[in-house]
Amino acid sequence: MTTDYMCPICNGHLLVDSHLILSIKHANQTGMLLLMNPEAGNYQTIYHPSQQLIEGEKYEFHCPICHGKLHSELNDNLVMVQMRDETGKLFELHFSKIAGQRSTYKIMGKEVQTFGIDAPHYLDFLNLIDIS
């Protein structure tokens, strides 16, 4: 079994050929597709050359399949997608909606693994046991 990412609303597969594909939109821009590196803590992204990500700006994330809003219940600045690792374990992957902010949380039950230099920024709100 390989790692997979699923939409928490429609269970659609979001990982295609080593890219986690999401639809994002900033209030003042048209929407765009964002290809993310599926490795937690790797913040490489790919998007159409005619568009840009504005550092420090907040984007809303949607599932490219059902168009549902991908939103974390834990914090308004976080997105949530479901992740299944190579052993079949299911996690919630939460990461920042703010471009350039490196904070990712891999959560199972009450335990969290954190990734990215900005991870401490939201950790206090999460109320989980950090096992990183």
Shortest distance, position 70 Cβ to Zn ion, whole Å = 8
Q: For Zn ion, give the closer residue by CB, 9 or 40.
A: 9
Q: How far is CA 36 from CA 30, 49, 110, 126, 131, in A?
A: 19, 15, 26, 24, 24
Shortest distance, position 6 Cβ to Zn ion, whole Å = 8
Q: How far is CA 13 from CA 22, 51, 107, 119, in A?
A: 11, 25, 19, 26
Long-range contacts of 90-93 (CB under 8 A, 24+ apart): 92/8, 93/5, 93/40
Q: Does 7 sit near Zn ion (CB under 5 A)?
A: yes
Applying CB under 5 A, the site for Zn ion has a residue count of 8
Beta bridge pairs of residue 108: 111
Q: Does 4 sit near Zn ion (CB under 5 A)?
A: no
Q: Does 16 sit near Zn ion (CB under 5 A)?
A: no
For residue 122, which of 72, 83, 81, 82 has the smallest C-alpha distance? 72
Q: For Zn ion, give the closer residue by CB, 6 or 126.
A: 6
What token pair was written down for 38? Answer: 């599926």
Site of tokens 């059902």: 66
What x/- string results for residues 18 through 57 when contact with Zn ion is judged by CB under 5 A? ----------------------------------------
What x/- string results for residues 67 through 86 when contact with Zn ion is judged by CB under 5 A? -x------------------
Interacting residues with Zn ion (CB under 5 A): 7, 9-10, 12, 63, 65-66, 68
